[in-house]
Structure 1
Amino acid sequence: MVSNHLSYMDVVPLWLAVDGTFIAKSEIKSWPFFGWGTKILGMIFIDRALKRDVQRVNNMIKSTITEDQGIIIFPEGTSTKGETVLPFHPSLLEYPAQHNVPVSYATLTYQSFDPNKPASEYICWWGGMSFLDHFWELLKMPGFKADITFGSKRIVNADRKQLSDQLHQLVKANFQPVEQAGSTKPMKSV
């Protein structure tokens, strides 16, 4: 399954909703609390500084995926403040493309319960935001809502780049922008 990526928090609603092994950047292993949690969840880590690590991770996808256990990736390659869905990187879609494995898709968005703390700044984690400062502010929030829209079909394509493009278009079509600073427009319900 692929999904857009807004925050380190994305794994929580997705983990609660689907059975799957997440693929995450290797830096997360050293984060306080989340590093420990990701190891417990059995995440597959990729070292994005090493191009050859893509092949290792694709081999791990092949050995991990089963009928009962999927793989969840964030092919944007980075989290955003939720204005749009960035183009997808196709490299980790090699296994499903080569083996005609159907790929599901989901779209995430968030809403803050505090009108003074927009989701784009207090839930989404992007740019040069300090992880610890952001996480501390998130913990002080009175609450927030995560919405997941699951795609209505699974996509099969033997070309990983075409597969990536198709999935990107479908995720983007379901995407609802995250409330931004200064925005008073409420999100529509999904």
Structure 2
Amino acid sequence: MLRTIRVAGKIALIASYTAPMMLAQSVALRTGWWSDRRLPQLWHRMTLKIMRIRVRANGSAARGQPVLLASNHVSWTDILVLGSITGVHFVAKSEVRNWPVMGQFARLQRSVFVERERKRASSEQAKEIATRLSDGDPMVLFAEGTTGDGNRVLPFKSTLFGAAKLAMNETGKSVLVQPVAIAYVARRGLKLNRSERTEVAWIGDADFVPHLLEILKRGHIDVEVVFGEPIEFSSDGDRKEIARLAERQVRAMLSTTLRREK
């Protein structure tokens, strides 16, 4: 009973600042009076604190030129984790658009929604991402195309990496693809083993609300984010090769982090 009251209190607290921040974000988008990345970053940080998820960053996102952050994907909480570190925009699956609260916030954060199962739409979606990169928006691509169990990296889908090359063609500038590894390493100060890490992960088509409630009940999760060495997409670059290089870096960074945390 006490745990239920605590969860309800956390939900009420999150709701208390979410609505006014959404309104303020709408004003930012309409007027441009302040950066549309500031409020989402603050919201992510506040919400992680309430959920008792602690983030440690190793390195930082590249700056000074268009950058596509290519990350592994473990849970919906990855969005909060990366969004709390730096001001970014996300490439999200189309279903996210209709999620309660998170979906609306994703729209206000100017996420690009893609339908990965629609092969014919891939080129149009890549063009939209390319336009955003050309405009200077750092974009996050969860390159596996789905969530994994947090212990390993699934093969990267190369199609949307083509957005980096399109952006380069549009701007005449070089574009960076920066690998990023997200590792869930501990709960309540105790290192997670493979099985426990799977419990933290939000895999496949698992229901969102039960997983959210479980995180709110238990919390106390430590996450490490490792930013890898940016890969420059040259004029003769191949998206499949860039995807392989990024995947290799992310796999190595995740493995190193999980071994170190044992």
Q: TM-score band (shorter)?
A: 0.7 to 0.9
* Alpha-carbon distance in 2 for matches of 1:134, 1:143: 15
Q: Which range is displaced more, 64-73 or 85-94? A: 64-73
Contact 2:176–2:230, Cα closer than 8 Å, also in 1: no
Higher Cα radius of gyration:
2
Give the TM-score normalised by structure 2.
0.63
Contact 1:19–1:69, Cα closer than 8 Å, also in 2: no
C-alpha spacing 1:174/1:119, structure 2 compared with 1 (3 Å): same
- Counterpart of 1:148 in structure 2 is 225
Q: Secondary structure at the match of 1:65?
A: helix
Unaligned 5+ runs, structure 2: 1-68, 169-173
* Alpha-carbon distance in 1 for matches of 2:238, 2:118: 23
Q: Secondary structure at the match of 1:73?
A: strand
Unaligned 5+ runs, structure 1: 180-184
Question: Residues 107-147 of structure 1, C-alpha deviation per residue, up to 9 Å, x if partnerless?
Answer: 0011342469923213x100342211111101111411111
Q: Secondary structure at the match of 2:107?
A: helix
* Alpha-carbon distance in 2 for matches of 1:69, 1:10: 19
**Does 1:49 find its partner at 2:122?**
no
**Does 1:133 find its partner at 2:201?**
no
* Alpha-carbon distance in 1 for matches of 2:143, 2:196: 25
- Counterpart of 2:179 in structure 1 is 105
Q: Secondary structure at the match of 2:215?
A: helix
* Alpha-carbon distance in 2 for matches of 1:113, 1:186: 16
Question: Residues 132-176 of structure 1, C-alpha deviation per residue, up to 9 Å, x if partnerless?
Answer: 111110111141111100113334351000111111111111013
Query: Where does 1:32-181 land on structure 2 (aligned, <5 Å)?
Result: 32-66=100-134, 68-98=136-166, 99=168, 100-114=174-188, 118-122=196-200, 124-157=201-234, 158-176=237-255
Once the 2 structures are TM-superposed, how far is the Cα of residue 10 of structure 1 from its aligned partner?
A: 0.5
* Alpha-carbon distance in 1 for matches of 2:254, 2:232: 18
- The alignment's C-alpha RMSD in Å is 2.4
* Alpha-carbon distance in 2 for matches of 1:153, 1:68: 16
Among 76, 86, 97, the residue aligned to 1:18: 86
Give the TM-score normalised by structure 1.
0.85
Q: Secondary structure at the match of 2:181?
A: strand
Contact 1:97–1:163, Cα closer than 8 Å, also in 2: no
